[in-house]
Chains A and B, each alone.
Chain A
Amino acid sequence: MSTSTITSDRPAVSRRPILSTNLNLSSGIGLGIAMIWFSLLVLIPLCAVVITASEGGWSNFVTTVTNPQTAHAIRLTVFTAVAVTVVNVFMGTLIAWVLVRDRFWGRGFLEVLIDIPFALPTIVAGLVLLSLYGIDSPLGFDVANQPSSVFLAYLFVTLPFVVRMVQPVLEELEHDVEEAAFSLGASRFTTFRRIILPSLAPAITAGAALSFARGVSEYGSLVLLSGNLPYRTEVTSVRILGSIENDNAAGAASVAVVLLAISLAVIVVLDIIQRRVARRG
């Protein structure tokens, strides 16, 4: 096969040998400083949450987390975030592809749209999603107070991630290998799958990890749209709020810790997948 000849003679994409060196003194100090900041900002506060979660004891932790309503909320949150991430992987890559490789009138406008979900305060996002996809929807597409509203809200806020991760990598890709493949008769799809995709894999999985992480923590934009109905549209953030309102910091922290653990697991899994895909190319 012509394509396999290409891939064996030369790395399909510009994955040149990456020279990783061991730390020397100054980069070691740099790492130290970075770690101090990271600890001060993220690690120590998150440890405080974990410790608060354990304050009530292990049995308390288990009771809080296995509460049927909370368990359902966690399931809803996680599954919806996973579904949204899958959609984002496809659509995000597609959007990045069209924005980078295609030229057409109005492309600049689309470019601008991508980052808006981020900059819009979540209440307003909720308000406008309600206007368009609620009961008075001009499209007749009403998802208010249904589980699909959670999906929609997550989709909205996680839009930029995969797109913006893939774009810079796509822009850096060298074309000559692709062109060689074309000229040797490889179909567009084969070229994409064998040559381009492995190179995009790290970016796509980075975007997917962020998309999942962001989706799982979303709250503001879905409050109005979802109605917080127990066992149906109630998400984890609402359960956490409920515990806080009841001055049950240990309970709130427990649920938060579970969500963090799940997110960490997903991030690690995505990292493993990314290594596999990148290596295979």
Chain B
Amino acid sequence: MKQQRGFGKRAVAVLAALAAVAVTGCSSNAGEGETISIVGFAVPEAANKAIGDEFKKTDAGEGVQFRTSYGASGDQSRAVVSGLKADYVHFSVASDVTRLVDEGLVDPSWDQGENKGVVSSSIVVFGVREGNPKNIQTWEDLIKPGVEIVTPNPASSGAARWNALAAWGSVITAGGTEAEAAEYLEKFFANVVSLPNSGRDATTGFLGGTGDVLMAYENEAILAAQNGQGFEYIIPETTLLIENPGAVLKDAPELAQQWLDFVLSDAGQKQFALKGFRPIRDDVDFGGEVPGAADPKNPFPAVTNLLTVEKDFVSWSDLSKKFFDEQDGIVTQAIAKSGKAQ
């Protein structure tokens, strides 16, 4: 009868399946020599690799191997919380490191150092069509009727929140009240025609023809240009300093701290500059020319009115709740209102 077939075959099959799954799970040991596990957000991958190559040339870094993982900042942070092995993390926003602090993976004093935990930085810029036909120069220009904005979605991407904050900050710093700033945000999002999930998707959409202006990051614009997918960008008079945090985890080997020190040194910062990030100190010598920048010979022009989270928003944890709370956040509500109005 069907007994034979049922039992023997299936049992063997399931055992084989489980064995197959288990065998694939046997973790292969990393080779001899120290390994540093880096978990980072996607954009600095090339820069980190370059810094890594330089680090290997130093005494501290001789024979080091890197185990790297790159992806969207929030996803990477959550992965580390779930158990992804990491010695050093480099994320897009401070909240992604705070998440690790809350889980006990990173020491709470990670941002008390001289650099305040910041490893690389950039600024919010406007990507525009060639020749800037709508002459978009300021934040006020963005809310004019008929201007189509493309911005990554602050609701579903932590790294996208810089844009909304910069928009808010531009009103406050010009003397506006919070009510006026909230009103500005509503008009801003009313002009938004696309809310993709990441800066990269927003760039793709923009390059594909959507919108008149792209809320972009200077370093992504430069990286895009270096890879042949560039676009013209304007640096507005008032904009927000984007600060990417880097931290060493509690259980990491001493080598990871030496790596962080190297990243913060002139040698490390130079590599960041060459890939489009603004070095965290003004005196870093990177040769003065960065291909892909709007003006390669003056890649990081000074910003007239540079806002920072510390100066203008108190702290990231404060602003997370105030602006981005899922139900009551100011930005969340502005987005919802703009959708309902359509």
A and B touch in the complex (CB under 8 A): yes
Measured CB to CB, the residues of A under 8 A from B are 24-27, 29-30, 33-34, 36-37, 63, 67-69, 127, 130-131, 134-136, 144-145, 223-224, 227-232, 234, 238, 241-248, 251
Interchain CB contact under 8 A, B339 and A69: yes
Which residue of the partner chain B has the closest CB to A24? B3
B257 to chain A, nearest CB (A): 28
B residues engaging A (CB < 8 A)? 1-8, 10-11, 14, 17, 74, 78, 99, 153, 155-158, 192-197, 201, 204-205, 208-210, 324-327, 335-336, 338-340, 342
Chain A residues whose C-beta falls within 8 Å of the C-beta of B204 in the assembled complex: 127, 130, 224
- Given A26-B4, A33-B10, check contact A135 B201 (CB 8 Å): no
Q: How far is the CB of A182 from chain B (nearest CB, A)?
A: 39
User: Given A30-B10, A37-B17, A134-B209, A69 and B336 touching (CB < 8 A)?
Assistant: yes
List chain A residues, Cβ under 8 A from B201: 223-224
User: Which applies to chain A's interface (DSSP): helix, strand, loop or mixed?
Assistant: helix
Do the beta carbons of B209 and A29 come within 8 Å of each other?
Answer: no
Once the chains bind, are A68 and B336 in contact (CB under 8 Å)?
yes
Q: How far is the CA of A93 from the CA of B262 in the complex (A)?
A: 63
Evaluate contact between B205 and A227: CB separation under 8 angstroms: yes
Smallest CB gap from A246: residue in B: B326
Contact of B156 among A30, A37, A238, A251 (CB under 8 A): A238
Instruction: Pick the residue among A24, A135, A224, A246 that contacts B324 (CB under 8 A).
Output: A246
Point out the residues of chain A lying under 8 angstroms from B195, CB to CB: 227-230, 234
A63 proximity list for chain B (CB < 8 A): 327
Is A67 a contact partner of B327 (Cβ separation < 8 A)? Answer: yes
Residues of A close to B153: CB separation below 8 A: 228, 238, 242
B197 A248 Cβ-Cβ under 8 A: no
CA distance A251 to B326 in the complex (A): 10
Which secondary structure dominates chain B's binding surface? Answer: helix
- In the complex, are the beta carbons of B10 and A136 less than 8 A apart? no
- Least distance between B278 CB and chain A CB atoms (Å): 26
Let me know if A243 and B326 touch, CB within 8 A: yes
Q: Contacts A228-B197, A241-B156 known; list 16 others, CB within 8 Å.
A: A24-B6, A26-B4, A29-B6, A29-B11, A30-B11, A33-B14, A69-B336, A227-B194, A228-B195, A229-B193, A229-B195, A229-B339, A231-B339, A234-B195, A238-B156, A238-B197
In the complex, are the beta carbons of A223 and B78 less than 8 A apart?
no
Nearest chain A CB to B8 CB, angstrom units? 8
In the bound complex, CA of A198 to CA of B165 (Å): 60
Distance to closest chain B CB from A146 (angstroms): 10
Which of B157, B208, B327 has a CB less than 8 Å from the CB of A134?
Answer: B208
In contact, B156 and A33 (Cβ under 8 angstroms): no
Write the chain A residue with the least CB distance to B2: A27
